[in-house]
Structure 1
Amino acid sequence: MAAVVEKHSIDVVPDSERHGRAFHQFTLWLGANLQITAVVTGALAVVFGGDVVWSLAGLVLGNLLGGAVMALHSAQGPKLGLPQMIQSRAQFGVKGAVVPLLLVILMYVGFFASGSVLAGQATAELTHTNDATGIVLFAVVTAVMAAVGYRVIHILGRVASVVCALAFVYLGVRLLDRVDLGDLLGDAHFSLPMFLLAVSLSASWQLAFGPYVADYSRYLPRDTSAKATFWWTLSGSAIGSQWSMTFGVLVAASSGGAFLDNQVGYVVSLGGAGLVASFFYFVIALGKLTINVLNTYGGFMSMVTGISGFRGQRALSQRGRAVYIALIMVAGTAVALVGKDSFLASFKDFLLFLLTFFTPWSAVNLVDYYLISKERYDIPALADPRGRYGAWRWDALVVYAVGVLAQLPFLATHFYTGPLVEPLGGADVSWIVGLVVPAVLYWALARRDTSHVPERTILGTPDEPGKRGVSPTVTGAGAA
């Protein structure tokens, strides 16, 4: 068991402990996306007024665009051997990285909660308890899996990718037996706002993985192809999410109010009754367990990254790990219990509002990694506020703030709608603005002074105690 429980957290993974293949990113992200919340996300495109054809087209486009950005982050993991957000210190400063980190932690808690609502319903059916008890039981299992760490997360992804894929094939066949697919596809009426809503829903789904996707590729051998990591991550995430979302679109378009009243119960009813129903409740819980473990694991490492920037902490004890994971679990469970009765109404706005804060971070991170630093970082300096990256990098923080503010006129949510939404026919294009504006601004500012960029990547890994070693294998930029 000791060999299975993970020892590392925010520290760099040494070459001697690297393992796995790029293909494992495919199974992890396929399994993480074949799940009920992705089904609901796809259904929202129809629930809020879209037709089947253009909702599917919009979801495909969003999954590919957002998935490509997400996969570019994944390709960073093998090169640096670091969790995603600690690398943000190179852009925002050792302490300045806490600004996007606070929002990332909020995201993890929110996704943990939304996932627990649906998984709690399935768990309650399996254990013959109520939804609140199901949510708590599911949260405890999630926390235990996250505490074990990286190896069990990938094993869970492989199991879920097979079990959930088979289940979705069966459910898809059952659904097509009940509906007239020709009628659904024949009722196509293009609406730009509804099309862009579908694009935004799936793009936000993919982009929200960005702050933690490299956490699950950082153990891959350093010489793992960046292209392989990129394509396996993109294909697993885009195929899994589009598969689930397509199912959600067809269910929402054909079920009327039955799906809206009880998302989990309706999906299970497609499979059958008795033992078959129990199996599909298990499948739903398994799919949600996979993604909620990712949320918990990424959440605790983001908390450690934020706090350690001020404490100078480079590693974390097993006890400290358990405490951080427990905090994420308790916070997410509390939100789930409070909001379980208004889940569907709030989930769309939650997804789209999150996008406002993560697209600027993603733009800054990717421009710095691929265009400014060109994959060359001083890893020990990421823990030193007096080092080359400093405590606060105000140029990046200002660009981040401008990126957030630039989106507000284009943002369309239930609680806030920007002044430029109506002239655009009600379409929400804020996420496009949030990617383009900060990317261009950061590139223009950062390229003027690259004195903080080392000539080659500086490691200083546990393989070389006390040394700031230079890796002969990490040079320049590798295409992804």
Structure 2
Amino acid sequence: MSVSKTNDRVGAVETRGIEPVPDHERHGHAGQMFWTWFAANISILGLPLGATLVAFRGLNIWQAVLVALIGSFGSFALVGALSLAGKKGGAPALTLSRAVFGQRGNAGPTLVSWLSRIGWEIISTTTAAYALLAMLDIAFGLDRGTVLTLLCLLVFIACTLLISGLGHATIMWINKWATVVFGVLNLIVMGFLVATVEWSRVLDAPAGATSGVIAGIGFVAAGTGIGWANAGADYARYLPKEIPGSRLVVASAFGAGIPLLLLISLGSLLTAGDDTLATSSDPVAAINEMLPSWMAIPYLVAAFGGLLMSNHLSTYSAGLTMITLGLRVSRVWAVALDVVLMFAGGIYLMLIADDFYGPFSTFLTLLAVPISAWIGVVAVDSLRGRAYDPEALMDTTGGSRYWYTGGFRLPAVLGWAAAIVAGLLFTEAATSTDVWFEGPFADTWAGANGLGWAIAMATGAAVYALAGRATGPEAEATPAPALQGAGR
């Protein structure tokens, strides 16, 4: 097995790929997860989530706050729980997933996870480019055009590549200090936005249906923590094994929950008085118009920086996921390839597509199902006391301890596949004008309340718990005496 050496220092390029981090290279503390998830969630994308709760779910402000509290804190507590595998096994989430699904069986969950990361990156990149375009217009009077749009996309992508390319230690350092800077800027902007709220309309708004609250919790969870659940271990893999797992869970829940609660609640407040934010094709411009003209530049800087904090994490994880899929390049080159795809997606959304929120909501709805199915299987596997063989994780040949039956661990693969089918039966993914997908039970109570992802998670857990009972992970944890042909 060829294992790269690591330079996990701020400012140095991290040369470790997906190979497990040995104990003597572990360092850090649980508080790093607080800063990591705080940084990932200070972007303005939390505002349209809140706007959706009021405009499309019919909730009043108190219901929206409750939904934001449960959906954000709860989903990121799950992210923290799943990140314990990274602390335990020292590898990225989807690399550890090889032990659960088999070397070949893991390809499906890994591909879906990679698509999820790419999708989030494109959304963040597009929104940040809108912010930069608006900044150039205000500061220099430059009109939006094709060339300027491409340049704005490239500037944001270059910033993302710089941080993600350097790797783990730089990301951890930037997360902490950028959270303070952009967090303060966001608080200032939020104060001015609150001043624009029509409080009489907000306080007089009737309560929505209980089903809307349930659907809202599902929507917020799917749009926040569920989308990161398959990446939590990527940032916990350098942590010492002796750190209590409860600290990681609490740090993750509060790190993400605090900014999300504030942003989603504010988005709900703004939309209770005016639905412009929920229906705008350019969320950056819609928010900018609510502010005094002199606040435009600080707001746009905060928007750009917050989106960058989220995007560099997605890009880092996407690079690791591509290597897990079998891309035989270094981590840095995997990141570089990822940003090329990000650029292409940004071009599509900004210069070709007509609708921003339609694809956004549809994307969240569909990908939440297979990701939730993976969560259900992996959660049960972790509860059974999974231990990880570092050499077997990296051995992708037929001699690997994690090869199982033809490269597939059938109970896990069966549970994942069954869970996807079950979840999609109750799922509808549609824009304002088109239905992209509609399951046969999408009009039932569970389907109408957006619980397809929850059904997928529960089904994956149940099927795997039953089918995998006879082949628990304890028997698979003993290191093999010899391994051949280790791969990346």
One-letter amino acid of the structure 2 residue matched with residue 161 of structure 1: T
Instruction: Answer yes or no: is 1:265 the counterpart of 2:275.
Output: no
* Separation in structure 2 between the aligned mates of residue 122 and residue 83 of structure 1, nearest angstrom: 32
CA distance in 2, matches of 1:339, 1:211: 25
Q: Which residue of 1 is the match for residue 207 of structure 2?
A: 189
Structure 2 equivalent of residue 251 of structure 1: 270
Deviation at 1:238, TM superposition (A): 1.8
Matched to 1:18, the amino acid is R
What is the total number of aligned residue pairs between the two structures? 450
- Kindly indicate whether the alpha-carbon contact (under 8 Å) linking 2:392 and 2:480 is maintained by their aligned counterparts in 1: no
1:343 and 2:356 correspond: yes
Distance (whole Å) between structure 1 residues aligned to residue 448 and residue 209 of structure 2: 10
| 2: CA distance, partners of 1:382 / 1:137 | 37
Shift of 1:35: 0.7
Cα contact 2:153–2:343 (8 A) shared by 1 = yes
Q: Give the aligned partner of residue 78 of structure 1.
A: 87
Equivalent pair of 2:27/2:239 in contact (CA under 8 Å): yes
The 3 A distance-change label for structure 1 pair 422 and 348 is: same
Q: Secondary structure at the match of 1:416?
A: strand
Q: What CA distance in whole angstroms lies between the structure 2 residues aligned with 1:411 and 1:89?
A: 28
How far has the Cα of 1:201 moved from its partner? 1.6
Deviation larger for 214-223 or 411-420: 411-420
Change (3 A) 1:105 1:404: same
Q: Is the 8 A contact 2:8 2:169 kept in 1?
A: no
- Say yes or no: does 1:428 pair with 2:450: yes
**Do 2:78 and 2:249's aligned partners in 1 also have CA atoms closer than 8 Å?**
no
- Tell me the residue number matched to 1:408: 424
**1:226 matches 2:236:** no
2:433 aligned partner:
none
**What amino acid sits opposite 2:475 in the alignment?**
V
Q: Which residue of 2 aligns with 1:470?
A: none
Structure 2, unpaired ranges of 5+: 1-6, 143-147, 431-435
Alignment correspondent of 2:145:
none
Checking the alignment, whether the CA contact within 8 Å between 2:197 and 2:273 is kept in structure 1 is: yes
1:66-99 alpha-carbon deviations (Å, 9 max, x no partner): 2222111122222221111100001111122111
| 1:109 paired to 2:118 | yes
> d(CA) in 1 for partners of 2:454 and 2:278?
31
1:50-129 correspondence runs (5 A): 50-52=58-60, 53-127=62-136
In 1, are the aligned partners of 2:80 and 2:249 still within 8 Å (CA)? yes
Is 1:418 the equivalent of 2:439? yes
In structure 2, the partner of 1:48 is 56
1:293-325 residue CA offsets vs partner (Å, 9 max, x unmatched)? 1111111110100106xxxx7xx6xxx333311
- CA distance in structure 2 between the partners assigned to 1:195 and 1:189 by the alignment: 10
Q: Which residue of 2 aligns with 1:355?
A: 368
- Superposed, 1:321-336 pairs within 5 Å as 321-336=331-346
Unaligned runs of 5+ in 1: 461-465, 467-480
Residue 296 of structure 1: aligned partner: 315
Q: Which amino acid aligns with 1:224?
A: I
- Equivalent positions of 1:191-210 (< 5 A) are 191-204=209-222, 205-210=224-229
Letter in 2 for 1:323: W
User: For the residues of structure 1 that align with 2:338 and 2:48, how far apart are their CA atoms?
Assistant: 24
- The Cα offsets for residues 263-306 of structure 1, whole Å up to 9 and x where unpaired, read as 112333445334x4222211111111111111111111101001
1:148 paired to 2:166: yes
- Partner SS for 1:389: coil
Post-superposition offset of 1:448: 1.2
1:421 counterpart letter in structure 2:
A
Of 172-181 and 238-247, the range deviating more from structure 2:
172-181
Please tell me whether the aligned partners of residues 259 and 266 of structure 1 are also in contact (alpha carbons under 8 angstroms). no
- CA separation in 2, counterparts of 1:124 and 1:170? 22
Question: Residue 14 of structure 1 aligns to which amino acid in structure 2?
Answer: P
CA separation of 1:2 and 1:366: change in aligned 2, threshold 3 A:
closer
2:429 is paired with a residue whose SS is coil
2:28 aligned partner, one-letter code? G
**AA of the residue aligned to 1:203:** A
Residues 78 and 2 of structure 1: CA distance in aligned 2, closer, same or farther (over 3 Å) = closer
TM-score (normalizing by structure 2): 0.86
Q: Aligned residue for 1:20?
A: 28
Evaluate the alpha carbon distance shift between residue 422 and residue 11 of structure 1 in structure 2; reply closer, same or farther with a 3 A threshold: same
Question: What is the alpha-carbon root mean square deviation over aligned residues?
Answer: 2.5
In the alignment, what sits opposite 1:478? none
Q: Is the 8 A contact 2:85 2:96 kept in 1?
A: no
Task: State the shift of 1:155 in Å.
Answer: 1.9
- TM (norm. structure 1) is 0.87
- C-alpha distance in structure 2 between counterparts of 1:283 and 1:172, whole Å: 11
Q: How far apart are 1:55 and its partner, in Å?
A: 2.8
Q: In the aligned structure 2, how far is the partner of 1:46 from the partner of 1:180?
A: 14
- Which residue pairs with 2:392 in the alignment? 381
1:365 corresponds, among 361, 378, 389, to: 378
